[in-house]
Amino acid sequence: MLRIFIGSLVAGLVQFMVGAIAWVSPLGALAFKNLGDVQTAQVQAALASGLTATGSGTYFIPSPETAAGTVLFGKGPVALIHYNSNGFAAAFSGPALLTGLAMSVVTMLLVGLAVQRLPDFGSRMRTTGLFAVATVLYFVISLPVYNFYMPWPWWLFLGAQEFVAFALGAFVLLRFFMPREAAPAFAPN
């Protein structure tokens, strides 16, 4: 159990670093489209004047909850806006990074606990890989499928990053910190 815990710390750090490379490096720019400074200022001013009264939240623009909104939704353009009426630092802050690292460590700990009784490295890695694919499909790739207005490139980038981070972290844990073969289950005399 101690090896799984230590391995979870290392594997969580690996998983965290894959995310950092994907999002902090120039690779992260692949997931976004950018406006020029003038257009950005115009959109930001429109957001501030149109959404400040209702406050921070996630908005359908236009809202398909009304007849007029449904017509406007069909005509486009449409947006899903995650709006925060307060500004904050553009770079990730220490608390967010520490929370993300802690989540990676806990995730890898759960992986280790879930597969520790499987007979060998190969079966553990196959199981972990299938879970990685299943969770990415269900929790990431399904979003633009069911919400067709969401842009595919961002979700595909996120899904690829999540899969690689999870699979590489799990590989480190399973390969270097878990025994090659599972301990036999306790059998009473």
Give the whole-number percent of the chain exceeding pLDDT 90. 62
Let me know: does 64 contact 34? Beta carbons within 8 Å. no
Q: Mean per-residue pLDDT for 168-173?
A: 97
What pLDDT score does 51 carry? 86
For 37-63, what is each residue's pLDDT tens digit? 999 999 999 988 888 777 888 888 998
- Identify the residue whose tokens are 């996630």: 58
Q: Mean per-residue pLDDT for 151-158?
A: 91
Question: Does 130 have pLDDT greater than 80?
Answer: yes
What pLDDT score does 123 carry? 96
Question: Does 189 have pLDDT greater than 70?
Answer: no
pTM of structure: 0.83
Identity of residue 77: P
Report CA-CA distances (Å) from 176 to 11, 12, 172.
Answer: 10, 13, 6
Q: How many CA atoms lie within 13 A of 142 on its CB side?
A: 7
Strands (E), 62-164: 79-83
What pLDDT score does 80 carry? 86
Question: Does 140 have pLDDT greater than 80?
Answer: yes
Report CA-CA distances (Å) from 162 to 3, 19, 21.
Answer: 24, 8, 12
